[in-house]
Homo-oligomer: A and B are copies of this chain.
């Protein structure tokens, strides 16, 4: 779902980490699902050690929660925490939009333009699954252009947990409006106005946050 970002996984533990992470983000493992280390070890045909390593990493990432002597399960993210995640996402997306504006290159313009064009059609056709993908791709393109590994990693983490939370709390934020807001972000970045780009990105996330707040 999200980019690997890790070094090539020659370690079994790393492969398992990526595999389990993907299962969680894709919804194959839903919030509350138990992660049995022996069962996973047998399924993947490895010993318990690398499985344990992978689980620890997921716990440290807050995608999985652990209780003493009671094993691990996919994190159950509350509505309250989801809002808190969006508070973080608002400022982080604002920051990468600013940086992308300052480091603006023509390739970013082409990428965003292509995404927007397709997104407009998809929104008109009410293709929700493709909308999710294009929305993620749009934001990913901007945070890659920002060239800030620190911010990119944080946003990856936030995005992952948001995806998990959305498994419990489905919420459609209005595809057409999302496209309009993306258009505004695109124009602000293209105009070179970093302040405007930051504010446009923040406003976009802020609206989604308020939607979450309202839907209780």
Contacts and interface: CB of A to CB of B under 8 A. Distances in A.
Contacts of A36: none
Range class of the A interface residue count? 20 to 34
Nearest to A202: B91
Nearest to A53: B56
A114 interface: no
Interface string A121-154: 0000000000000000000000000001111011
Contacts of A210: none
A99 interface: yes
Interface string A1-39: 000000100110000000000000000000000000000
A154 B151 contact: no
A56 to B, nearest CB: 5
A68 interface: yes
B88 A151 contact: yes
Copies of this protein, total: 2
Given A56-B53, A95-B91, A151 B68 contact: no
A81 B150 contact: yes
A90 B84 contact: no
A94 B99 CA distance: 17
A19 B150 CA distance: 25
Main secondary structure of the interface of A (DSSP, over half): helix
B92 A88 contact: yes
A87 B151 contact: yes
A30 to B, nearest CB: 21
A209 B94 CA distance: 17
Interface string A75-106: 00000010011011011101100010000000
B148 A87 contact: yes
A57 interface: yes
Contacts of A52: 53
5 contacts: A7-B68, A11-B68, A85-B150, A88-B95, A91-B95
Given A56-B57, A57-B60, A87-B148, 9 more contacts: A52-B53, A53-B56, A60-B60, A87-B99, A87-B150, A88-B148, A88-B150, A91-B92, A91-B94
